[in-house]
Amino acid sequence: MKFKLFSLLLFIFFININAQDYIFGKITSEENIEMPDVVVINIRTDERVVSNRDGHFMVSGRAGDELRFVKTGYERVNKSVTKENIGSPLNVMLTRAATLIAEVEIKKGITGDLKIDSKNLDPPRKVEKLKGDLGAYIAQKSDPRVLAARAGEFVQPKGQGFSIGKVKNKWDDVDFMNYLISSLGEKYFTDLKVDKSMIQNFIYYVFAGGFERQNILKYGFCSDADLMRFQRAVFVRISSYRAPQTQR
């Protein structure tokens, strides 16, 4: 009887020790707007979830864990989980990352003084005349005799020409890869447990998974929506990328 009672108490203790709690809450911006697609990482378990369109999230954890909140264009936030956060909402606010604004040249405005404004706004007549003379000179056709070959001078024969094919993309995969590393930062990939030396290899792995980038390479431009698509593709491919390393 004592043995059965001891076994029961041991079983209950084991359940309590291994019980899994959940931390849930809501993520908003400085303007109190719900933040979708925010990556929430439990640093201890490496579990990752993404907030829904209303900014809500739920991730397994316990008191003492540290949660990290990551979204492109916003400062990363770390939150330590307390006992009060178990069973009650954890509200998190993200602030926009500081960006440098290009210097703007302020031109002189109108003062109301005719003499000053005429000097500031109207170019001198000599400059206007020079521009007009240059335009007229450039518009004139050259005399064919100027470009004609001299006696005994070799002249390259004129051929039929050739086709250069379709216009090349402004970016290639290397350009796009460098943009991703610069925009997201190496820490984004190392947080995913990707070695710093293997970041390029991992990005190519995501590309090989069917990531659509034709327009990005064509125009040499990656929008915020494209960057978010890439991050979603990362979370789809990260498990299979790690699998061979785990099986070794």
Which tens digits make up the pLDDT trace of 154-175? 555 554 544 455 568 999 999 9
Residue 152 lies in a domain: no
Residue 156, in any domain of the structure: no
Task: Please identify, among 61, 94, 127, the residue that sits at the C-terminal boundary of a domain.
Answer: 94
Query: Does residue 184 lie in a domain region?
Result: yes
Cα–Cα distance measured from residue 92 to residue 41, given in angstroms and rounded to the nearest whole number: 13
Asked if 54 and 34 count as a contact pair (C-beta separation under 8 A), the reply is yes
- Is residue 186 assigned to a domain? yes
For residue 170, the model assigns a pLDDT of 92
Q: Confidence band (pLDDT; 50, 70, 90) for 178?
A: very high
pLDDT at 19 over 70: no
Q: Describe the crossing of helices 224-247 and 199-208 by its angle, rounded to 10 degrees.
A: 110
Lowest mean pLDDT among 4-13, 48-57, 72-81, 225-234: 4-13
Given a contact cutoff of 8 angstroms between Cβ atoms, the answer to whether 92 and 69 are in contact is: yes
Single-letter code of the amino acid located at 161: G
Contact 190, 196 (CB under 8 A): yes
Weakest-pLDDT range from 33-37, 45-49, 110-114:
110-114
Beta bridge partners of 67: 42, 79
Q: Of 45, 74, 94, which residue sits at a domain end?
A: 94
User: Which domain CATH number covers 47?
Assistant: 2.60.40.1120
Q: Average per-residue pLDDT in the chain?
A: 79
Whether residue 138 lies inside any domain: the answer is no
- 157 part of a folded domain: no
Domain that holds residue 28: 19-94
Q: Based on the structure, what is the number of domains in the chain? A: 2
* Cβ partners under 8 Å of residue 226, min gap 6: 213, 216
Whole-angstrom distance, CA of residue 90 vs CA of residue 49: 15
* pLDDT for the residue 102: 60
- pLDDT score of 84: 85
Query: Quick check: is 37 in a domain?
Result: yes
Q: What is the pLDDT of residue 98?
A: 81
Residue 131, in any domain of the structure: no
Q: Which of 43, 62, 94 is the last residue of a domain?
A: 94
Does pLDDT of 34 surpass 90? Answer: yes
Residue 6 has pLDDT above 50, yes or no: no
Percent of the chain with pLDDT over 90: 50
Tell me which of 153 and 238 has the higher pLDDT: 238
Given this model, what pLDDT does residue 32 score?
Answer: 93
The mean-pLDDT minimum among 49-53, 141-145, 194-198 falls in 141-145
